[in-house]
Amino acid sequence: MIFGKNKCIFYLYLLITQQEFIFMNWTTQDIEQLKEKNISIEQVEEQINTFNKGFPHLEITKAATIGNGIIRLSEDEIVQNIRKYNYESRKLKIIKFVPASGAASRMFKVLFELMKSKPGSKEFEQLMNDKSFAGAANFFSNIQKFAFYDDLRKTEILKDKSIEQLIADYRVHDILQALLDETGLNYGNKPKGLLKFHKYDNGMGTPCREHLVEGTLYASGTSEIYIHFTVSPEHMNDFKEHVQVLKKHFEAHFAVNYFVSFSVQKPETDTIAVDLNNQPFRDENGNLLFRPGGHGALIENMNELNADLIFVKNIDNVVPDRLKEETTKYKKALAGVLISYKEKIVNYLQKIENQEVNNDLFNEIEQFLKKELCIIFGDAYKFLSLEDKLAYLFNKLNRPLRVCGMVKNEGEPGGGPFWAKNNDGSISLQILESSQIDLNNPEKKKIVQEATHFNPVDLVCCVKDYKGNKFDLTKYVDKNTGFISEKSKDGKALKALELPGLWNGAMADWNTVFVEVPIATFNPVKVVNDLLRPEHQ
């Protein structure tokens, strides 16, 4: 047995070993840097603890499939939900939320690699015929098909040269410079939202342009269109200038008023980088290195929006006007589903609050949570009193709600829909990335292989409670669902910490509904050659 002082020492030992407390020697310079970024020492030490411990894999029980977590709407149901949304949208404040942060440099990765070789050398010809550079060869073979081709020809670097002859002679360095470098179009440093994706007579075929048009088609029931872009600070002015030109044009064309707002990822959501020994990474001046926390940090930006309904769609998932009808159809259908679910939830919550729940209604609410919201209660639920069961049901109902489009998996990247265990022992629908699942476990690997759909980041969200008050979205994040990746800085290896993804762990404790949508609604541009697909021509 352990008594007195020894007992205190023993429990102190348990506390330290179980919580993995760390004690860092922070300098005055460190403390000032943290104050400037509005990040506490406790936050940083918690992040370093995470590097030491890693993130646990999530416990999945099965893949969500049609009829077992994913709804397939009939044509009649699609029409009914569109009609529902069209009617109700006139009474709602609706915002289209577009994550658009960062430069488009990853779009041109293979071209940047090619650009490293010496101009006019035989190395170009060898690389152009190398299988690993097939993407570059495809790019140059189809260069006239890109919407930015005419702009490329007019650059100072190429204005007196033939692009086709340069390609034929394997002298493409000037073309790459004109496309990627700041002396030309500077596409290697601009954000995706400002690149020319599609050809139009007026030349304004950027993703920004497409999102404004989409907003007019489905993201409002009135003539007021609200769109919010999250952007990087260095691109803010360029976005604002571009959107101002677009607004002037489309407000006249569609007879609407656009209310376009912007925000940047908050500095306090940045995460500390560490070396391979999990010690704080410092630059040559001894400063701590912080990195953006990934798109999951944008839950903070979304939390500041005041809206009844929020559409979420990535900046690069757009199509030209000729293909927008299908997108509009399913966006409205998803919104109609959301509104119907929300109405049921509000009714149930009001009944519980007003103590108007009889046995039949109690059973109905239980079945709604189990069958419609796909929530399997934890084992402890059956031992609760009736009063505590009602409190449990109330808590499960009273949280943010999202309806997520799910596309049949045809090899495209994206998180998958699964049934997963929550921290309270319940099971619910979650969108998970492969990195969150233990693929070394044969049982879990089999479940992943049985998945039929993936998430194209096609969400419609309700972020207000049954009384019309905004939820604090930061309270519904599962902090155990982040991601650690290896990067480098000035040639030195480091580890970076990404926060729980916006539609993954950042929405883990939301109520979730999955609805199948066609692949035609998903047309992302991850690499420049994606613009050669028929959907973007």
**pTM value?**
0.91
Task: State how far the alpha carbon of 129 is from the alpha carbons of 135, 136, 138, 272, in Å.
Answer: 11, 9, 11, 42
Q: What is the mean pLDDT of residues 395-416?
A: 88
Strand partners, 313: 458
Which positions ≥6 away from 356 have C-beta within 8 Å? none
Give residue 412's pLDDT: 59
Helices 386-397 and 359-367, axial angle in degrees (round to 10): 40
Confidence bin at 11 (pLDDT 50/70/90): very low
Residue 402 DSSP label? E
pLDDT for position 87: 97
Give residue 113's pLDDT.
Answer: 85
Quick one: pLDDT at residue 6? 43
Range from 176-185, 331-340, 409-418, 461-470 carrying the lowest mean pLDDT: 409-418
- 3-class DSSP state for residue 228? strand
Query: Is residue 246 very low, low, confident or very high in pLDDT (cuts 50, 70, 90)?
Result: very high
Residue 520 in 3-state DSSP?
Answer: helix
Give the residue from 185, 191, 104, 174 showing the smallest Cα distance to 150: 185
Q: Percent of the chain, pLDDT > 90? A: 79
Rounded to an integer, the average pLDDT of 401-411 is 91
The answer, yes or no, to whether residue 90 has pLDDT greater than 90, is yes
CB burial readout 82-92, b (16+ within 10 A) else e: bebbeebbeeb
Classify the C-alpha dihedral 282-284-287-289 as positive or negative: negative
User: What contacts 332, CB < 8 A, 6 or more positions away?
Assistant: 81, 82, 85, 86, 218
Q: What's the average model confidence in pLDDT over 469-479?
A: 96
pLDDT, tens only, 381-404:
999 999 999 999 999 999 999 999
Cα distances (angstroms) measured from residue 319 to each of 213, 311, 451, 525: 11, 17, 27, 10
| CA dist., res. 398 & res. 396, Å (int) | 6
Interatomic CA distance for residues 389 and 370, integer angstroms: 14
| Rounded-to-integer distance, Cα 103 and Cα 315, Å | 12
pLDDT of residue 411: 65
Q: What's the pLDDT band for 93 if we cut at 50, 70, 90?
A: very high
Burial class (CB in 10 A: 0-12, 13-18, 19+), 319: buried
Q: Are 389 and 352 in contact (CB under 8 A)?
A: no
Tens of pLDDT along 288-321? 999 988 899 999 999 999 999 999 999 999 999 9
Q: How many residues does the chain have?
A: 537
Taking residues 28-36, report their average pLDDT. 92
Look at residues 338, 329, 374 and name the one whose alpha carbon lies nearest to residue 517: 329
Is residue 372 helix, strand or coil?
helix
Q: How far apart are CA 332 and CA 336, in angstroms?
A: 6
Question: What value does the mean pLDDT take over residues 449-461?
Answer: 93
How many Å apart are CA 385 and CA 25, to the nearest integer?
51
**pLDDT number for residue 171:** 85
Q: How far apart are CA 151 and CA 153, in angstroms?
A: 5
The rounded mean pLDDT for the chain is: 91
- Secondary structure of 457-501 in HEC code, one letter for each residue: CEEEEECECCCCCECCHHHHCCHHHCEEEEEEECCEEEEEEECCC
pLDDT at 101: 73
Per-residue CA distances from 398 to 8, 147, 371, 466, 475 (Å)? 42, 47, 17, 7, 13
pLDDT band of 134, cuts 50, 70, 90: confident
Q: By the 8 A CB rule, do 298 and 67 touch?
A: no
Residue 3 has pLDDT above 70, yes or no: no
Distance CA 285, CA 278 (A): 19
Average pLDDT over residues 112-131: 74
Question: In the prediction, which pLDDT does 415 show?
Answer: 76
pLDDT of 343 > 90? The answer is yes
The Cα angle at residue 398 between residues 395 and 399, in degrees rounded to 5: 110
The helix, strand and coil proportions of the chain, stated in percent and rounded to the nearest 5, come to 45, 15, 35
Residue 490 is predicted with a pLDDT of: 81
Looking up tokens 């995470």 gives: 50
Residue 368 phi, psi dihedral angles, 5° rounding: -60, -45
Q: How confident is the model at residue 13 (pLDDT cuts 50, 70, 90)?
A: very low
Region 495-523: mean pLDDT is 95
Q: How far apart are CA 465 and CA 394, in angstroms?
A: 12
Q: Residue 467 to residues 161, 310, 337, 412, 471: CA-CA distances in angstroms?
A: 65, 18, 20, 40, 11
User: What Å distances lie between residue 431 and 301, 318, 500, 515, CA to CA?
Assistant: 20, 22, 11, 13
Give the number of other CB atoms < 10 A from CB of residue 418.
Answer: 26
Say if residue 230's pLDDT is above 50: yes
